Amino acid sequence: MAGAAMMADACHHPRPKHDVSCSLSFNRGKASTNGTHVTIQGTTTQATNCRKPKREVLPDYVLGGSVIHVFTKETVSLKDANGTSHTGNDCQINIPEYALPTVNKSTVEKVVVPLNSNVAIDCKRRVLKSSQPTKKPTPTTTTTTTTTTTTTTTTTTTTTEKPHTTHHTTHTTTTTTTKKAEPTEKPHTWDYPKGEVTFFTPNQGACGEWNDDNDFIAALGPDLYGNMDAESKLCGKKIQIQGPKGNSIVVKVADACPPCDASHIDLSPAAFKELGSFVTGVLDVKWSFLD
């Protein structure tokens, strides 16, 4: 899962300085450190996933290492080996040159990993936001006033017996008609006009398919995806995303992101790169599901 599977760089966490060979994620978990080890306990959202990394994709990284992502019930404060505290409820632990033990999916597990100066901890405070409804355009009406005026014609007839003058009365009629405005071309409306995207390292997603960095895929949060441990009805659904530069891409839903809120999409690196720079980490976008 994204945010669950291979959470190497998703959801605002920086990329690890080592290549990712193994990954594991927890939801509704607990985490603590004691100076020499990191202890994590919670419900796993995937089985331990280990693979041989693609060196051509991540050429600057050191081979080998593991990433653990945990979304905790409450805010935690984890101290790294240097004594620096990292506080939040969305934490990622990057452990170079370390292979994770075998852990099954959807089970309550406890994992203890070594803590040294090379282990990087990053915690963020994440708050799930409700879906952003889009406003329907307000219909407008125009008032058209039509004025009809009749002209006055005066005819004078003279006879030898008795003058006779005939006058025609002037009548002015004003008619006011109100009608609806002529229909105009409907503007494009976005399901989420104030969305955001991050990026992650894909492998086997929650929808069951295997993907890599070059696939144009997306991961959705629980508000939209639904049960994190099952295939969503949105799997395979296409999404159009407009980036901050105005260009658009289309991606396919292939994974789930437990920490993501409704307006937040986690993208594969190839898709994210089309919209902005990896250095930014987070991009403001507009996006909609395609029919």
Give the model confidence (pLDDT) of 190-224 as tens digits: 999 999 999 998 888 899 888 889 999 999 999 99
Residue 41 pLDDT level (bands cut at 50, 70, 90): confident
Give residue 1's pLDDT: 55
- Token pair of 33 as six digits: 């450190």
Mean pLDDT, range 61-84, rounded to an integer: 81
Distances in whole angstroms, Cα of residue 6 to Cα of each of 14, 29, 160: 13, 17, 115
Above pLDDT 90, what percent of the chain? 33
Higher pLDDT, 223 or 45: 223
Residue 109 pLDDT more than 80? Answer: yes
Mean pLDDT, range 31-59, rounded to an integer: 72
Q: What is the pTM of this model?
A: 0.45
Nearest-angstrom CA–CA distance, 45 and 5: 8
For residues 269, 273, 274 and 280, what is the CA-based torsion angle, rounded to 10 degrees?
Answer: 130
- Token pair of 222 as six digits: 């629980």
Give residue 30's pLDDT: 87
Give residue 226's pLDDT: 92
Higher pLDDT, 8 or 246: 246
Q: Which of 63-72, 131-140, 200-209 has the lowest mean pLDDT?
A: 131-140
Strands 248-256 and 164-166: unpaired
- Judge whether 242 and 191 are in contact, CB under 8 Å: no
Give residue 99's pLDDT: 83
Mean pLDDT, range 7-26, rounded to an integer: 68
- Judge whether 201 and 212 are in contact, CB under 8 Å: no
Give residue 55's pLDDT: 42
Among 291, 286, 280, 284, smallest CA distance to 12 is for 280
Nearest-angstrom CA–CA distance, 131 and 262: 5
Give the model confidence (pLDDT) of 185-195 as tens digits: 334 689 999 99
- Judge whether 252 and 209 are in contact, CB under 8 Å: no
Mean pLDDT, range 34-42, rounded to an integer: 88
Residue 138 pLDDT level (bands cut at 50, 70, 90): very low
Mean pLDDT, range 28-53, rounded to an integer: 80
Mean pLDDT, range 165-190, rounded to an integer: 49
Above pLDDT 70, what percent of the chain? 70
Higher pLDDT, 112 or 173: 112
- Judge whether 236 and 252 are in contact, CB under 8 Å: yes
Average pLDDT across the chain, whole number: 76
The H-or-E segment that residue 242 falls in is strand 238-242
- Judge whether 249 and 283 are in contact, CB under 8 Å: no
